Amino acid sequence: MPPQTAFISGPIDTGPQETYFHTHYTPLLTAAIARNDSFVLGPLPYGVDSDALAYLLQYPVSPTRITIFVTSREDSLWGMQFRALGVNVHVVEGDNTRDRDAAMTEASTYDILRLRTEEEARKVYGESWREGYVTNTERNWKRRRGIQEEERVEVEVVNREVRDGLGVDAVHAVAWGGGVQKKKRFLGKALGR
């Protein structure tokens, strides 16, 4: 199978010591790296975007295999720092996250993402949790498949499809990524934070 391009998408809150990221994303990224795939992701300086960029660069994945998609405003805020890391920076038409995410779907062949279960979402968001709320991560998965935003899809169906696509089973996902690996805080310094 020739190398492909993964769109990495996920929540902006990955918990203490990035536990959510290490538990659910590390095994998926490791499998994609082993396939020699390339990666597209957003520019946020926190959450899955930041955690994934740090993980890829530390692995190490060549920065030429990583493209950060930004709006023009995000480029003016963070573009120079990303370019200093040697990664590709792609400035999208439009100035909102939906335009940026749609461009990343178009530029990639599959998704690396995980949707929180209702129980997890209630725990993280507390009183702010809303039944039926569609996250950007869920929108990204649906966009690739041509599924309407209001159409309900079971969270575990999505999560299983992502794991199966990379040959990662749920037991190994938890064992591989269960917060064991520590992420160095070099990314914040590289981005001037």
* Predicted confidence (pLDDT) per residue in 94-134, tens digit: 889 999 999 999 999 999 999 999 999 999 999 999 999 99
Q: The tokens of 63 are what?
A: 């920065």
Confirm whether 190 is domain-assigned: no
Number of domains in the chain: 1
Q: In what order do the strands lie in the sheet with 38-41?
A: 88-91, 66-70, 38-41, 5-8, 110-112
- pTM of the model as a whole: 0.88
* Predicted confidence (pLDDT) per residue in 156-187, tens digit: 999 999 999 999 976 555 444 443 334 444 45
Confirm whether 184 is domain-assigned: no
Confirm whether 65 is domain-assigned: yes
Confirm whether 119 is domain-assigned: yes
pLDDT over 90, % of the chain: 84
Confirm whether 95 is domain-assigned: yes
Question: Could you list the residue range(s) of the whole structural domain that residue 149 is in?
Answer: 5-178
Q: What is the pLDDT of residue 180?
A: 35
Confirm whether 185 is domain-assigned: no
Is residue 162 within 8 A of residue 28, CB to CB? The reply is yes
